[in-house]
Amino acid sequence: AQTVTQSQPEMSVQEAETVTLSCTYDTSENNYYLFWYKQPPSRQMILVIRQEAYKQQNATENRFSVNFQKAAKSFSLKISDSQLGDTAMYFCAFMKHEGWGGSRLTFGEGTQLTVNP
């Protein structure tokens, strides 16, 4: 079974600054995906970024980037130029690559990020 751990229950950052959220995972699988989801107060789950384990290059989506360290089983999210709208709960999630195309996600506990003006 896979486990995902987010050791920072809460974080805060000043607007326009950079913040990094941590995530570690444990798995014996070699083919998998990793995700960061954002959950604002509206409760909607929003995909921020994804990383395929077979890709060495770190994924980037505008102000969001990841630092994927496969050997260390670490998957941190960096948010640059933080904006007030980035205030949300952030979840790290793991998905095993399954032959039947299934999509079972294992989530971490979440990190509540607050961006201060």
CB of 71 to other proteins, least distance (A): 22
In degrees, rounded to 5, the angle at the alpha carbon of residue 19 between the alpha carbons of residues 79 and 80 is: 35
Q: Which segments within the chain are labelled E, that is strand?
A: 3-5, 10-14, 19-21, 24-26, 32-39, 46-52, 60-61, 64-69, 74-79, 88-96, 105-107, 111-116
For strand 88-96 and strand 74-79, is the pairing parallel, antiparallel, or unpaired? Answer: unpaired
Q: How far is the CB of 30 from other proteins (least distance, A)?
A: 16
**Pattern of binders to other proteins over 4-43, x per CB under 8 A?**
x-x--x-----------------------x-x------xx
| Nearest CA-CA partner of 74 in 2, 5, 1 | 5
107 scored as a contact of other proteins (CB under 8 A): yes
Considering only 41, 56, 72, 101, the residue that binds other proteins (CB under 8 A) is 101
Question: Site residues for other proteins, window 72-91 (CB under 8 A)?
Answer: 91
- The residues that touch other proteins, with contacts defined as CB under 8 A, are 4, 6, 9, 33, 35, 42-45, 47, 50, 91, 93, 95, 97, 100-110
